[in-house]
């Protein structure tokens, strides 16, 4: 059989992270390429207690089909949290439960984008979002990341000149891959520009709760009096990644369409872990648990940054205020892809920066490091090996 | 904000079943409109035991990110089952774990269909599949269901005359909504025709295990020496619906693309219930459990058919050999939609047949009844009320 695939699949390539992880077969390999939360961040005792309670008292409820919108008590609780924590008070917004935050990006694009439309995004950008855009056969235009977020002039220029711009995708807090946080001034500017040009915003915020330094900044969603922001949140980093529970918080007309698209896609998100997330928020102290996770990442990031200052002083990197990642730019004389392969030969896996560029040909001499998954010992040893890999060029 | 949605959303309408269920607020309402498995079919004790074991011994494994292909031991076990049970022995096929069987349909369409392509399907057809097709902006052509499956002449005519036909979608066992099973002769004819015209087949088989009468027939997949069949299976009806675990069994080139599409869609299916399904198959007797479920449905279907023979003798209906549904055609003088609404007024919810037609204007005087969800008492009382609703027309 000679298979003919849809044109939307043409630009979809396997995740570089996956490919790197596949090569990491050796037990001694040090994985800085993952995005997994630290295992000690999972509230295992609570998960066990809640599981026993659900299977004792609500088993049939979680085992039968649910509705596409999600488990109503969890929806209500998350909507209340958006109001209490982020001052999101518009009546037109509602919460939908999704199969991870990835599905929010996919569903938003599914309901909004026609082939040939234009999406604007961070550059570099989370590769899972880039692949969604590619899969809808749209044009992708990147806006350069500066130390305080998007280059606003570039954004305005694109909004002025590009045709059929429908969406802006941004990760304002501890962006993946750069770790950069968008300043409040730029959040306001982004909102004002998108409002002016009638563009919807996907505000992807999987790491927002994981700030371990500096002052929390209000999400763009908190300014959204016009109903242009689709906020995406996740339990992956605060409860567990494998449970696949995320949520969107979006204006009702958009949410109504997302419900239809979700019916088509997977009917509904597994009910058990929706109830789990709800019970956890009800009976345990979510904020205290998040504070506990922040401490883990504060320590691990400081350990990694300290080691980088010692062993990678020829590189440039920003010290992140939260999230899971450090973005490390190599000296200009070093070929980044070659360096990443040499690092892998030295048993340290990092993600090449071109994974996050709009096209693989886009120039990028940086790579991404993750500090949540490796142990403390691995962080120290791995960065030392990265330093050795760099010195070997001399 | 004046929202502009993608053209693919134009023909997507909320599921009629959902709308009917929303109206069923009264505790006394009798729901023949659902597709939920009988609650007594969930192996609750086993689920509790396996859960305790997973959280004791493999908690971190199930709580971190998994891979898009699915949990390898479950993939291996399902592939083995396809070989042992259905004699599917081609080396090129592989199992991928999906978020329910619905996702198999969505992913297959996502990787194969361009806008304007043509999909051929059963008519009437499972509405969840129809909505997937609509969401890809393709042309949908239906083939009339006869008592032994698709009208083969119609199928060949469409294959001959329609442009860019890419896919045939069929539910050969106990089809939703008609309950019809495709004969072996027609399975062979369908395969031969699709092979001749170079068309891929989605063989959706969520109910195949639920045969309570007659001889099991080999799936079309078992004939697939050419790699043209994407088989779709589900744990929804044999383990639990709310866990959202299904699988595809398809040629590797197609599977490779589905993996990419799944990464984009929801990264991976929740790991916990993949491990659950694997352990259930490993440590419990799946076939014995399925035999137990079959007995439940044999009894419930006989109860419903008996009541229908008594109270709905003016209607036409086939006695199904398995599955969850009976399809009931009203006398020609009765307006079907009007009848369904009157039945709802009488506190019995059924699904209007137009839910399953390619367009709502397509003539259909039948409705769908489900016997897995209601209690025995509700089956008897509900069919009696449907009879009363019919007599009220006289």
User: How confident is the prediction for chain B on average, in pLDDT?
Assistant: 94
pLDDT tens digits for range B185-216: 999 999 999 999 999 999 999 999 999 999 99
pLDDT of residue A361: 74
Residues in chain B: 394
Cis peptide preceding B124, ω within 30 of 0: yes
Local structure of residue A223 (DSSP, 8 states) = G
**B18 falls in which pLDDT band (50, 70, 90)?**
low
* Interface subset of B 139-198, CB within 8 angstroms of A: 166, 198
| pLDDT 10s digits, B229-268 | 999 999 999 898 999 999 999 999 999 999 999 999 999 9
Angle at B106 between CA B104 and CA B110, to 5 degrees: 115
Q: What is the dihedral of CA B185, B120, B326, B101, to 10 degrees?
A: 100
Q: Chains A and B: how many Cβ contacts under 8 Å?
A: 229
Which helix (H) or strand (E) element contains residue B345? Answer: helix B336-345
The residue with greater pLDDT, B20 or B206, is: B206
Residue in A25, A237, A244 to test binding to B, most B beta-carbons within 10 Å:
A244
In this prediction, residue B11 carries a pLDDT of 84
List, in sequence order, every residue forming a beta bridge with A120; answer none if it has no partner.
A141, A168
pLDDT in tens, B292-351: 999 999 999 999 999 999 999 999 999 999 999 999 999 999 999 999 999 999 999 999
Task: Determine which helix (DSSP H) or strand (DSSP E) holds A342, and give its type and residue range.
Answer: helix A336-345
Q: Which pLDDT tens digit goes with each residue over B106-134?
A: 999 999 999 999 999 999 999 999 999 99
Examine the pLDDT at A17 and tell me if it is beyond 70.
no
Flag if B266 and A7 touch (Cβ within 8 Å): no
**What tokens appear for A356 in the block?**
């996050």
Q: What is the distance between the alpha carbons of residues B157 and A204, in angstroms, rounded to a whole number?
A: 49
Q: Which residue of A has its CA nearest to B59?
A: A44
Strand, coil or helix: A304: helix
Contact call for A65 and B8, based on CB within 8 A: no
* Distance to chain A for B336, nearest Cα, Å: 25
Give the pLDDT of residue B22: 64
pLDDT for the residue A297: 96
Partners of residue A7 in chain B, C-beta under 8 Å: 114
Specify the range with the lowest mean pLDDT, choosing from A24-33, A377-386, B141-150, B291-300.
A24-33
- Which chain B residues have a beta carbon less than 8 Å from that of A59? 42, 44, 47-48
Asked if the model's pLDDT at residue A19 lies above 80, the reply is no
Nearest-CA distance A320 → chain B (Å): 23
How far apart, in Å, do the first and last CA atoms of chain B sit?
A: 52
Tens of pLDDT along B278-293? 999 999 999 999 999 9
A266 touches chain B (CB under 8 A): yes
pLDDT value for A16: 66
Contact: B114, A7; criterion CB under 8 Å? yes
Q: How far apart are CA B128 and CA B111, in angstroms?
A: 18
Residue from B296, B292, B323, B277 nearest B81 by CA: B277
Query: Which residues is A170 bridged to in the sheet?
Result: A203
Interface of B with A in 210-239 (CB under 8 A): 226-228, 236
pLDDT of residue B170: 98
On the question of pLDDT at B371 being above 70, the answer is yes
Residue numbers in B near A244 (CB within 8 A): 99, 266-270
Q: What is the pLDDT of residues B34-85, one digit of tens each?
A: 889 998 999 999 999 999 999 999 999 899 999 999 999 999 999 999 999 9
Residue A16 Cα, gap to closest chain B Cα (Å): 12
CA angle A309-A313-A319, nearest 5°?
A: 50
CA-nearest residue to B126 within chain A is: A264
- Per-residue pLDDT tens over the stretch A37-68: 998 999 999 999 999 999 999 999 899 999 99
pLDDT at position B26, please?
Answer: 74
**In Å, what is the CA distance from A149 to each residue of A63, A184, A329, B193, B267?**
44, 10, 17, 57, 27
Tell me the percentage of chain A whose pLDDT exceeds 90.
91
Q: What is the mean pLDDT of residues A297-301?
A: 97
pLDDT, residue B15, reads 67
Q: Is B15 on the interface with A (CB under 8 A)?
A: yes
CA triple B171-B232-A98, angle to 5 deg: 110
Q: Which of B239, B248, B238, B160 is nearest to B202 (CA)?
A: B248
Contact between residue A124 and residue A178 where contact means Cβ atoms under 8 Å apart: yes
Per-residue exposure over A277-305, b if at least 16 CB sit within 10 Å of its own CB, e if not: bbbbbeebebeebbeebbebbbebbebbb
Q: Determine the Cα–Cα distance for residues B98 and B105; give it in Å rounded to an integer.
A: 10
Q: Are B358 and B123 in contact (CB under 8 A)?
A: yes
Check CB contact under 8 Å for B99 and A5.
Answer: no
Judging by DSSP bridges, how do beta strands A149-150 and A366-370 pair with one another? unpaired
pLDDT value for A1: 85
Q: Which of B100, B198, B264 sits opposite A267 (nearest CB)?
A: B100
Rounded to the nearest angstrom, the minimum Cα separation between A237 and chain B is 10
- What is the model's pLDDT at position B363? 84
- State residue B186 phi and psi, 5-degree precision: -75, -35
Of B115, B226, B260, the CB nearest to A12: B260
**pLDDT digit string (tens) for A207-256?**
999 999 999 999 999 999 999 999 999 999 989 899 999 999 999 999 99
- Looking at CA atoms only, how far is residue A264 from chain B in angstroms? 5
Q: Give the start-end residues of each E strand in chain B.
A: 30-31, 93-98, 118-123, 139-146, 149-150, 165-170, 200-204, 229-234, 246-251, 316-317, 325-329, 348-349, 351-352, 366-370
Mutation to test the A interface, candidates B6, B12, B255, most A Cβ within 10 Å: B6
Please check the confidence at residue B178 and state whether its pLDDT lies above 90: yes
B18, B42, B206, B267, best to mutate vs chain A, most A CBs in 10 Å: B267
């Amino acid at each position: 059989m000679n298979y003919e695939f849809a044109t939307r699949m043409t630009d979809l390539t396997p995740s570089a992270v996956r490919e790197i992880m596949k090569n990491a077969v050796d037990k001694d390999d040090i994985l800085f390429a993952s995005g997994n939360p630290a295992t000690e961040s999972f509230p295992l005792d609570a998960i066990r207690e809640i599981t026993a309670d659900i299977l004792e008292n609500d088993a049939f409820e979680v085992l039968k089909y649910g509705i596409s919108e999600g488990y109503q008590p969890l929806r209500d609780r998350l909507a209340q949290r958006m109001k209490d924590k982020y001052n999101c008070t518009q009546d037109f917004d509602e919460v939908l439960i999704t199969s991870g935050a990835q599905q929010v990006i996919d569903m938003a694009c599914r309901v909004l984008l026609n082939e040939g439309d234009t999406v604007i995004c961070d550059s570099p950008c989370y590769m899972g979002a880039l692949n969604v855009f590619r899969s809808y056969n749209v044009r992708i235009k990147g806006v350069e990341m500066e130390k305080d977020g998007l280059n606003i002039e570039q954004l305005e220029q694109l909004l002025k000149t590009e045709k059929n711009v429908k969406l802006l995708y941004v990760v304002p807090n501890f962006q993946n891959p750069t770790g950069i946080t968008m300043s409040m001034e730029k959040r306001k500017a982004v909102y004002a520009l998108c409002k002016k040009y009638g563009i919807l915003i996907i505000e992807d915020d999987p790491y927002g709760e994981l700030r371990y330094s500096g002052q929390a900044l209000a999400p763009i969603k908190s300014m959204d009096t016009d109903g242009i922001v689709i906020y995406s949140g996740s339990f992956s980093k605060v409860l567990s990644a494998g449970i696949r529970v995320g949520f969107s918080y979006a204006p009702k007309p958009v949410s109504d369409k997302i419900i239809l698209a979700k019916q088509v896609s997977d009917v509904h998100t597994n009910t058990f872990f929706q109830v789990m997330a709800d019970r956890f928020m009800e009976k345990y102290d979510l904020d205290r648990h998040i504070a506990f996770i922040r401490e883990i990442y504060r320590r691990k990031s400081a350990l990694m940054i300290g080691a980088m200052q010692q062993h990678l002083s020829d590189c440039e990197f920003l010290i992140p205020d939260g999230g899971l990642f450090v973005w490390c730019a190599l000296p200009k004389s070093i070929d980044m892809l070659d360096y990443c392969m040499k690092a892998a030969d030295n048993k340290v896996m990092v993600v090449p920066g071109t994974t996050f560029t709009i096209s693989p040909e886009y120039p990028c001499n940086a790579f991404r490091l993750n500090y949540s998954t490796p142990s403390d010992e691995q962080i120290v040893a791995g960065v030392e090996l990265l330093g050795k890999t760099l010195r070997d060029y001399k």
